[in-house]
Amino acid sequence: GAVVSQHPSWVICKSGTSVKIECRSLDFQATTMFWYRQFPKQSLMLMATSNEGSKATYEQGVEKDKFLINHASLTLSTLTVTSAHPEDSSFYICSARSSGGYAQYFGPGTRLTVL
């Protein structure tokens, strides 16, 4: 149980294009989903928190117009990196928590490379 999938696992795109990453909870309903960014050999940095049906809450310093988050259903959240630039290259990981639960489960991550 408590499986979170993420797609794609890796993506290479040209500078200026937009990239969408999907995060799905496969066997539970995720009231809350989180998006993290991780640089090599560093910890996970929370970008935003999203609750199903409401606007995402972004962490300080994260541009909400650049990182668009949608949590349209209890099993799906998407992160769209708009007008990507090389400095957006990173490992993006989503996680999900079920309603009333404490534990948070992570997706396998998406490696984004912007050329």
Partner 1 sequence: GENVEQHPSTLSVQEGDSAVIKCTYSDSASNYFPWYKQELGKRPQLIIDIRSNVGEKKDQRIAVTLNKTAKHFSLHITETQPEDSAVYFCAAIIVWSSNTGKLIFGQGTTLQVKP
Does position 102 interact with partner 1 (CB under 8 A)? The reply is: yes
Chain centre to alpha carbon of residue 27 = 18
Does position 43 interact with partner 1 (CB under 8 A)? The reply is: yes
Does position 100 interact with partner 1 (CB under 8 A)? The reply is: yes
Q: Rounded to 5 degrees, what are φ and ψ at 57?
A: -105, 120
Q: How far apart are CA 98 and CA 57, in angstroms?
A: 18
Q: Contacting partner 1 (CB under 8 A), which of 93, 96, 112, 114?
A: 93
Q: Can you give the binding site for partner 1, defined by CB under 8 A?
A: 4, 31-32, 34, 42-44, 46, 49, 51, 93, 95, 97, 99-109, 111
